[in-house]
Chain A
Amino acid sequence: MFEFTKDQIFIITGASSGIGEGVSLLLNELGATVVAIARRMDKLEEIKASSAHPENFFCERKDLSVDCGTLDAYVRSLKAKYGKFRGLVYCAGIPAVISLQAITPEMAEETFNINYFAPLFMAKGFADRRVNTGKGSAMVFISSIAAECCGKGMSLYSGSKAALKASARVIAKEIAPNGVRVNSILPADIETPMTAEEYMQRRKPLYPMGFGSVSDVANFVAFLLSDKAKWISGQSYIMDCAALL
């Protein structure tokens, strides 16, 4: 496995639940300092209390879907509070399953704000040379298999996740000269609070090796953030255990 040190500070969004929670707890267990962001502070505090090193686990309440264009400044304000960051893991997101005819501009805005614009402007903040630790630092975005596969009612969600995946590759190219790596992960069905029980029952036959778990994704995130992945950037990785090929 790999280890981190407490002076390696990571921002994790969506840290109050599911994949973001798993990533926060794992990085903290591996020795890193974690700045965990979500709207539900009570959940974040509970997760901090259960972490391996609560003294290196910091909670920040923030609604990332509001004023997305100011999130670069928000990341800079976090740097002023915690110091330079080694990594950013963007896990926050909302599902949107709705037929084309039922889509409203408000829904489109809500989905794209949290799934695309927020990570874009957080990346802008993180990429600022004054904010990251330079060579060795990395960003990981949680996109989705929906960026590649078509499912009815997924036009908004798939569009937002495909946009995130595409931008991540461009950002990787733009900021490679600064030594910052950027990758995205496209998980298929992972058992988290986001995935409804009834939906998962229907999907079960597709997965001969079972659904993915939060720890499957968290382990891969930790690898991509570590120096073991120092020659990996600009990539997007499907995690589906051959189920949806």
Chain B
Amino acid sequence: MTTKEFLIELADVLQTEDNLELSSNLSNSEYWDSLSQMSVMSFLAKKFGVHASLEDITMTDKVSDIFDIVKEHIED
């Protein structure tokens, strides 16, 4: 998966029409809640086999924080 594909899939998981960038802020966004955090955890597990802790996810501030968890699986 490329960075661009990652951002598109993450936007889908978060159910947002925004074009996500690595620098996009999550903590202040309307779509960052406990349900979307659980969805992100299962997305990372299903797509990358990465089992992030709930703490990792809830501490997330920007999209890049999620990206960092899986960046070794990103192709570009």
A residues lining the B interface (CB < 8 Å): 128-130, 174-175, 177
Contacts and interface: CB of A to CB of B under 8 A. Distances in A.
Given A174-B35, A177-B33, A177-B35, 9 more contacts: A128-B15, A129-B15, A129-B16, A129-B31, A130-B15, A130-B16, A130-B17, A175-B35, A177-B34
Nearest to B33: A177
A128 B16 CA distance: 9
Contacts of A175: 35
Contacts of A174: 35
Contacts of A177: 33-35
B26 to A, nearest CB: 14
Contacts of B34: 177
A137 to B, nearest CB: 14
Nearest to B17: A130
Contacts of B16: 129-130
6 contacts: A129-B31, A130-B16, A130-B17, A174-B35, A177-B33, A177-B35
A177 B17 CA distance: 18
> Taking chain B's interface residues, is the majority helix, strand, or loop, or is none over half, making it mixed?
loop
Interface residues of B, number: 7
A132 to B, nearest CB: 10
Contacts of A129: 15-16, 31
Nearest to A132: B15
B8 to A, nearest CB: 13
A129 B31 CA distance: 8
A128 B13 CA distance: 10
Interface string B42-76: 00000000000000000000000000000000000
A72 to B, nearest CB: 11
A177 B32 CA distance: 11
Contacts of B31: 129
Contacts of A130: 15-17
Interface in B1-54: 15-17, 31, 33-35
A128 B35 CA distance: 12
Contacts of B17: 130
A174 B37 CA distance: 13
A167 B33 CA distance: 21
A204 B63 CA distance: 62
User: Which 6 pairs across A and B sit closest by C-beta, in order of nearness?
Assistant: A129-B15, A128-B15, A130-B17, A177-B33, A130-B15, A174-B35
Nearest to A128: B15
A174 B35 CA distance: 7
A130 B15 CA distance: 6
A175 B39 CA distance: 13
Contacts of B15: 128-130
Nearest to A129: B15
Contacts of B35: 174-175, 177
A128 to B, nearest CB: 5
